Amino acid sequence: MDSSTQDDAAAEFLRELTHWRHQRGMSKKELAERTGFDPSYVSHIENGRHQPTEEFARRVELVLDSGNRIWQQYVAFADTRGQAGRRSPLGPTAVPPPTGSHLVIEDEQATLSLVDGVYECRFRRVLHSVGTEPITRHTVQIDIDRFPDDPARSTAFHSHHPLTIDEVGFRATIGAEQAEPMRWRVSRSRDAFLKIVLLLDGGGTPMPLYPGQRTVVDYAYRVPAWKFGDWLQRDIRLPTRNLVIRLDFPAETGPTVWGSETSFTSETTVEVHPDRRERQGRVAYEWVVSRPRLRAQYRVDWRYADPRAALVDAPTDIRPLAC
């Protein structure tokens, strides 16, 4: 192949790469972090100073999820580098999986409801194993903060009223059609934080998630509203295809809800207004995020017209905090 043919193929690859990076709302820095390359290397690739490698093409396809369009352009480029008319052995439509255990969250549904002064929190995740090794565990966490804008006050508050695993009634199941209870263990505990490792098994029988397989994990817990704080946040630590956050309050509380997306790679915060519906004495809010940014935070905050709604069964020394 002559150099002009190779240059044209490289240019097509770069156009496809840049298009899908913009489609996913990723900066070069964010793409570099997700793929494990140095930001300068990604910049050099997009500017044509370096030629793409197979490993680079494989990783960006997995991150940007272009439907194999990026990978196909790389295969076409690799064919131009073949010698004596020999074509590349790379498959045109199948991206080699990443080595090791890698997980993608295809869908996450996060729901918080206020019921008799208690926040009932439920989460449902569709997990997809995309690596070469089976996955045997999945980590989740419970993170509360009564006064997120006043760290000193919050630290003092939670030191007197710590979060415990016994009070939250944590439970988890695995499977879509016939869900089985999962075993789990607390791996880290602080006054306002619990990290929990879910073991991928059902009824005590190991159920590892093998490469290419999918499963559904549900987990739930409850925290008194006077201890929780008026916010819920989802941190995107794994590639996630879809995120839905739902809130459900008694209409009599007069809630006001707003949301924010914070991206640390671009150092920006965007405010959003979740959809609102009122029915049968309840007010529901929903925020749907398609392809949330990796390492971004999606947070909803709320305030009640009557703060006493969140103080049911609160200790007597807590009630003045609503004023």
Both 76 and 129 in a single domain? no
What is the number of structural domains in the chain? 2
Both 71 and 141 in a single domain? no
Strand partners, 94: none
In a domain, 90, yes or no: no
B/e letters for 40-69, b = 16+ CB within 10 Å, e = fewer, are ebbbebbeeeeebeeebbbbbbbbbbbebe
Do 221 and 145 touch, CB atoms closer than 8 A?
A: no
Q: Is the pLDDT of residue 323 over 60?
A: no
**Exposed (0-12), middle (13-18) or buried (19+): which is 34, by Cβ within 10 Å?**
buried
Mean pLDDT in residue range 253-282: 88
Both 133 and 230 in a single domain? yes
Q: Is the pLDDT of residue 48 over 60?
A: yes
Chain segment 193-221, per-residue pLDDT in tens: 999 999 998 777 888 999 889 999 999 99
Chain segment 279-306, per-residue pLDDT in tens: 999 999 999 998 888 778 999 999 999 8
Beta strands in 82-228, from DSSP E residues, in sequence order: 103-115, 118-129, 137-143, 171-174, 180-181, 183-190, 193-199, 201-202, 205-206, 214-224
Both 72 and 173 in a single domain? no
C-beta pairs of 42-47 under 8 Å, 24+ apart in sequence: 45/14, 45/17, 46/14, 46/17, 46/18
- pLDDT higher at 308 or 243: 243
Both 35 and 112 in a single domain? no
d(CA 194, CA 190): 6
Q: Give the pLDDT of residue 2.
A: 58
In a domain, 65, yes or no: yes
Q: Is the pLDDT of residue 315 over 70?
A: yes
d(CA 10, CA 7): 5
- pLDDT higher at 129 or 92: 129
Both 171 and 317 in a single domain? yes
Both 121 and 40 in a single domain? no
- Specify which of 59-63, 88-92, 165-169 reaches the highest per-range mean pLDDT: 165-169
Q: Is the pLDDT of residue 261 over 50?
A: yes
In a domain, 93, yes or no: no
Both 158 and 297 in a single domain? yes
Structure tokens at 272: 């959003």
In a domain, 253, yes or no: yes
Both 140 and 15 in a single domain? no
Tell me whether strands 242-250 and 103-115 are parallel, antiparallel or unpaired: parallel
Structure tokens at 227: 């201890």
| Cα separation of the two ends of the chain | 76
Both 142 and 38 in a single domain? no
- pLDDT higher at 42 or 65: 42
Q: Give the pLDDT of residue 142.
A: 97
CATH of the domain at 62: 1.10.260.40
Mean pLDDT in residue range 243-254: 95
Q: Is the pLDDT of residue 63 over 90?
A: no
Q: Could you give the percent of the chain with pLDDT greater than 70?
A: 88
Chain segment 222-231, per-residue pLDDT in tens: 999 999 999 9
- Domain boundary residue among 47, 80, 113? 80
- Domain boundary residue among 24, 48, 80? 80
In a domain, 87, yes or no: no
Going by pLDDT thresholds of 50, 70 and 90, the confidence category of residue 72 is confident
- pLDDT higher at 101 or 169: 169
Mean pLDDT in residue range 60-76: 86
In a domain, 128, yes or no: yes
Whether the model pTM is above 0.85: no
In a domain, 177, yes or no: yes
Do 112 and 120 touch, CB atoms closer than 8 A?
A: yes
Both 239 and 304 in a single domain? yes
d(CA 289, CA 198): 25
In a domain, 135, yes or no: yes
Both 65 and 178 in a single domain? no
- Domain boundary residue among 18, 46, 80? 80
Across the chain, what does the average pLDDT equal? 87
Chain segment 157-197, per-residue pLDDT in tens: 999 999 999 999 999 999 988 889 999 999 999 999 999 99
- Give residue 229's domain range: 103-322
CATH of the domain at 109: 2.60.40.3140
SS3 21: helix
Strand partners, 286: 246, 275
